[in-house]
Amino acid sequence: MEESKLKFLWDAIWNSWYFQDVLVAALLIFLVWMGRRLSRQPYWRLAIREVRQRRIAVAAFYVLCVYGLIALMDSVGWHPALRGEDGEVLRDTKNRVLHDRGGITVLDALLTPLREAREKTYSAPLAKILFSTETAVLPDGAMAQIHPPLQYPRRHLMGTDKVGNDVFYQSLKAIRTGMILGIFTTALAIPFAIFFGVVAGYFGGWIDDLIQYIYTVLASIPDVLLIAAFMMIFGRGLPQLCIIMGITSWTGLCRVLRGETLKQREMEYVQSAEAMGAPALRILRRHIVPNVLHIVLITVVLGFSGRVLSEAALTYIGIGVGAETYSWGRMINQALRELARDPAIWWNLAAAFVFMLGLVLPANIFGDALRDALDPRLRTQ
């Protein structure tokens, strides 16, 4: 009994937007703090300056910022009071105000004209009429098959889907899922990867053997299969996908960090710190971790696009996010069933692919620029 109460409480907290708002705020504060700290160091300032010299990378960065802003607006939400048909606030038997349990986000509020503009079924981009025909009575009394006019003509920039929802709105909502998968999965993995990678590389011996063994075992299971097994067992959903993708990206990052630490350990600055009697943990924290941090950033940025792309493929296979999460994979999956129609319904598919390309292409361009700027081996050339 106690356990189910706890679970109920947990669900209530987890599903509350206010809780997520606090998390988002904490994350933002952390990112700003980290950014300010790094931008004060000469190495990172040099890197930033180098990236800024490439105009295309700067442009890519701004596109990523727009995507990030939309995702951010979609991650901050609240639970508005429920209103009846006359607009009066609904109350329960104890006269408490009832709140919408699903909640709405800032993005939802901004896009209300799109969100609430529901048609009956498919309509082409910017169409005035419905895609399918209906039997109607003409003014002269004859019966005919016509395309009925839309309730909101010329409003759907990218058409509507099977149940009449705006495709543009769905594509915008899917940005949050893509960004979470792209960034959050590695963010989950980073602390573990840094800790285990650096510790394994620095201490060596049986610690190294053990950590190496663990990540080799995990890495030897191909990603798709590990994700398939995990998603079958824990069910489909965004949190599950984040965790398992975090595990798969953990192994690679951990191996790279271990190798880099092995190199750094032999450097003079570490030896001099050791000679001065600095404790091992302090050497790791103050000397080694800052010197492998650029690898972490490169891995995060370069892995980003791969994860966004794989979401769509995984959802198609049936091991991606569930049906209740907005995602480009879900849109593609639904649209594929309708492609066989004649004339084909292409706008769902096109919207999802265009939005995906709009995120992945800048991410690739920016990632390349960042790697060139941060990788000292390339810089010397």
SS3 state of residue 118: coil
In the complex, least distance from residue 243 CB atom to other proteins, rounded to whole angstroms: 13
Helix residue ranges, H only, 204-326? 205-220, 223-234, 238-265, 268-275, 280-282, 289-317
Question: Which range touches other proteins (CB under 8 A), out of 100-108, 135-143, 263-271, 308-316?
Answer: 308-316
Residue 156 and residue 117 in contact, taking contact as beta carbons nearer than 8 Å: yes
In the complex, least distance from residue 366 CB atom to other proteins, rounded to whole angstroms: 11
By C-beta, is 190 or 360 nearer to other proteins? 360
Per-residue x/- marks for other proteins, 347-366, CB under 8 A?
--x---x--xx--xx-xxx-
What region does 380 belong to: left with phi over 0, alpha with psi -120 to 50, or beta?
alpha
How many residues bind other proteins, per CB under 8 A?
A: 40
Query: To 10 degrees, the CA torsion angle through 279, 282, 288, 290?
Result: -170
Question: Which range touches other proteins (CB under 8 A), out of 41-49, 120-128, 218-226, 289-297?
Answer: 218-226
Query: How many other C-beta atoms are found inside a 10 Å radius of the C-beta of residue 166?
Result: 25
**Residue 233 interacts with other proteins (CB under 8 A)?**
yes
- Binds other proteins by CB under 8 A, chosen from 69, 81, 229, 323: 229
**Residue 319 interacts with other proteins (CB under 8 A)?**
yes
**Residue 192 interacts with other proteins (CB under 8 A)?**
no
Single out the residue of 190, 365, 205, 369 nearest to residue 280, CA to CA: 205
SS3 state of residue 105: strand
Q: What is the DSSP letter of 69?
A: H
By C-beta, is 34 or 217 nearer to other proteins? 217
**Residue 33 interacts with other proteins (CB under 8 A)?**
no
Single out the residue of 190, 200, 219, 234 nearest to residue 322, CA to CA: 234
- Binds other proteins by CB under 8 A, chosen from 117, 172, 301, 309: 309
**Residue 298 interacts with other proteins (CB under 8 A)?**
no
- Binds other proteins by CB under 8 A, chosen from 106, 228, 243, 262: 228
Q: What is the DSSP string of 159-222?
A: -B-TTS-BHHHHHHHHHHHHHIIIIIHHHHHHHHHHHHHHHHHHH-HHHHHHHHHHHHHHHHS-
SS3 state of residue 33: helix
Residue 19 and residue 13 in contact, taking contact as beta carbons nearer than 8 Å: yes
**Residue 256 interacts with other proteins (CB under 8 A)?**
no
- Binds other proteins by CB under 8 A, chosen from 123, 171, 240, 305: 305
- Collect all residues with Cβ–Cβ distance below 8 Å to 115 and sequence separation of at least 6: 108, 166, 169
**Residue 368 interacts with other proteins (CB under 8 A)?**
yes
By C-beta, is 75 or 333 nearer to other proteins? 333
- Binds other proteins by CB under 8 A, chosen from 222, 279, 290, 376: 222
**Residue 301 interacts with other proteins (CB under 8 A)?**
no
Residues lying near other proteins in the complex (CB under 8 A): 213-214, 216-218, 220-222, 224-226, 228-230, 232-234, 305, 309, 312-313, 316-319, 332, 336, 339, 344, 349, 353, 356-357, 360-361, 363-365, 368, 381
